[in-house]
Chain A
């Protein structure tokens, strides 16, 4: 596997948060509640920071230097 296709592999990770929030039947329920917040709400809210982590991992793994933007 060359370097480029190995980088491609990382991009598939971006599907993770997307799949997690499109499985509506899986999370459309009240229990288990967390501190009185029904599952439907805390589950989806939790995926916001998780999605940031996933995107961050993909960014670090695929990062390349770009012209004039080498920080």
Chain B
């Protein structure tokens, strides 16, 4: 254990803790309203929104897992790059529309929108439950990010003393999220993102210099790892899997409750559009971080005796921390590990706020206490955000890490099933709400079955069409099933002449820009 590294790490951790509590006084407003606590009054301008969305979506786990996947599986792990290239043009078109209708109608969650647009509390419940289920393992995974760097700093990893850093960091996180709401992660995201940029720029300059340049790094990687496996007569192999993982992940990303919370907290459609121009900066960082996987391979960190125990416990997820420990001076190790750990706190806070908003608005106030006041609603959301975090800690401590990883993979398959109701719903109400509900159900069941066929270990499902196998992302296959079922049921409802539910939104609600 290096005293310097630990001191630098604790310094930054202390700094963001102070910021988290100060945030309650930032852009002062009445934090007893859910619009203020949970969406920071929909007031964030271009810069804060950029830090917030970037800090929210590019999580600590992403920074650990993406290079780990490249380290282990090679080119397939690089799907994160086309994925993040696809997501912003898509968001540019779709999200200002969602922001506009949410702003006009006072929607806080995606399920609020579904409730208003499709007129079905049950469909809204389905969307809310899916969001909460997909978010919980994701929060637990953020803890994995903290666990890995705390272990890498040299702290014990087992027993009470091993869990203590986790419990402390989440207790602090829970306290300032409770008092400051979304303002806390927004302020902390600025520190987190600056530390991440500094770390990555140093990494792509210092590490290749020590390893003899990029040519030398790539020469350590075998050709079959460097490229995707090309299609042959029996299977599309790596091509279809890579493509579908990229497209499916891009479609799923913005449906996560924490994505929508960050998006809805911005101050308008043009703020969002400007952000879609600027957010690829994070994608570039992610792409460069992915290359760290190959740098770790070239440095042979998994063969160094001092890391053998860690690789036994954390497997490939230890590749990046091991690389930093080998390549950086102690003080910079402390800084880069702080970047990863703080990188876990920002999304964990936003995720717990988003899950709390969903529970309170679309389950509690909808079904349990329909007459609850805005103050009661906010108080409930604050409590739920605490419960969610306690649950995540229990999850991370009590269950094997692999369990959280597998559940997060399943989460992506589940959340994409809300796309027809939410994203397609922004453009058309052609689908009957009963069709959307049955389609959602079949998508959830089908997607889970496809994941179960792979023992939940891989999101890639092997679809057999005659003599050809098409490996693809289970989420997209399940979404296809969802859409077909939704269309069939819709046509059936039309033919049977069933009454349509009421759409409370109007065409004008969707325009965020002034037209003359």
Docked pose: A40 CA to B304 CA in angstroms = 29
Q: List, sorted by A's number, 23 A–B pairs whose CB atoms are closer than 8 Å.
A: A17-B85, A18-B86, A24-B228, A25-B230, A28-B230, A29-B227, A37-B214, A37-B218, A38-B226, A40-B228, A45-B287, A47-B85, A48-B284, A55-B89, A55-B92, A55-B276, A55-B280, A66-B269, A66-B270, A67-B514, A68-B268, A69-B268, A69-B271
Contact: A28 with B284, CB < 8 Å? no
Would you call B22 an interface residue if the criterion is a C-beta within 8 Å of the partner chain's C-beta atoms? no
- CB contacts (< 8 Å) of B223 on chain A: these are 30
Would you call A22 an interface residue if the criterion is a C-beta within 8 Å of the partner chain's C-beta atoms? yes
Docked pose: A23 CA to B274 CA in angstroms = 27
Docked pose: A53 CA to B84 CA in angstroms = 15
Docked pose: A26 CA to B211 CA in angstroms = 30
Docked pose: A55 CA to B88 CA in angstroms = 8
CB distance from A69 to the nearest CB of B (A): 3
Which of B82, B269, B284 is the one whose CB lies under 8 Å from A21?
Answer: B82
The 8 A-B pairs with the shortest beta carbon distances in the complex, nearest first, are A36-B215, A69-B268, A21-B82, A14-B89, A64-B513, A52-B280, A36-B214, A66-B513
Which of A18, A22, A36 is the one whose CB lies under 8 Å from B216?
Answer: A36
Contact mask B217-260 → A, CB, 8 Å, 1/0?
A: 11100010011101000000011001100110000000000000
Contact: B242 with A24, CB < 8 Å? yes
- CB contacts (< 8 Å) of B81 on chain A: these are 21, 44-45, 48
The contact size tier of chain B is: 35 or more
Would you call B297 an interface residue if the criterion is a C-beta within 8 Å of the partner chain's C-beta atoms? no
- CB contacts (< 8 Å) of B243 on chain A: these are 22, 24
- CB contacts (< 8 Å) of B86 on chain A: these are 17-18, 21-22
CB distance from B43 to the nearest CB of A (A): 10
CB distance from A14 to the nearest CB of B (A): 4
Contact: A63 with B514, CB < 8 Å? no
Contact: A36 with B217, CB < 8 Å? yes
Docked pose: A68 CA to B328 CA in angstroms = 47
- CB contacts (< 8 Å) of A14 on chain B: these are 89, 92-93
Would you call B512 an interface residue if the criterion is a C-beta within 8 Å of the partner chain's C-beta atoms? yes
- CB proximity to B under 8 Å, residues A8-35: 11, 14-15, 17-18, 20-22, 24-25, 28-30, 33, 35
Contact: A30 with B284, CB < 8 Å? no
Would you call B78 an interface residue if the criterion is a C-beta within 8 Å of the partner chain's C-beta atoms? yes
- CB contacts (< 8 Å) of A65 on chain B: these are 513-514
Contact: B291 with A41, CB < 8 Å? yes
Contact: B284 with A49, CB < 8 Å? yes
Would you call B210 an interface residue if the criterion is a C-beta within 8 Å of the partner chain's C-beta atoms? no
CB distance from A12 to the nearest CB of B (A): 11
- CB contacts (< 8 Å) of B284 on chain A: these are 45, 48-49
CB distance from B458 to the nearest CB of A (A): 19
Docked pose: A63 CA to B271 CA in angstroms = 11
Contact: B78 with A40, CB < 8 Å? yes
Contact: B291 with A63, CB < 8 Å? no
- CB contacts (< 8 Å) of A21 on chain B: these are 81-82, 85-86, 246
Contact: B227 with A28, CB < 8 Å? yes
CB distance from B101 to the nearest CB of A (A): 14
Contact: B280 with A11, CB < 8 Å? no
- CB contacts (< 8 Å) of B214 on chain A: these are 35-37
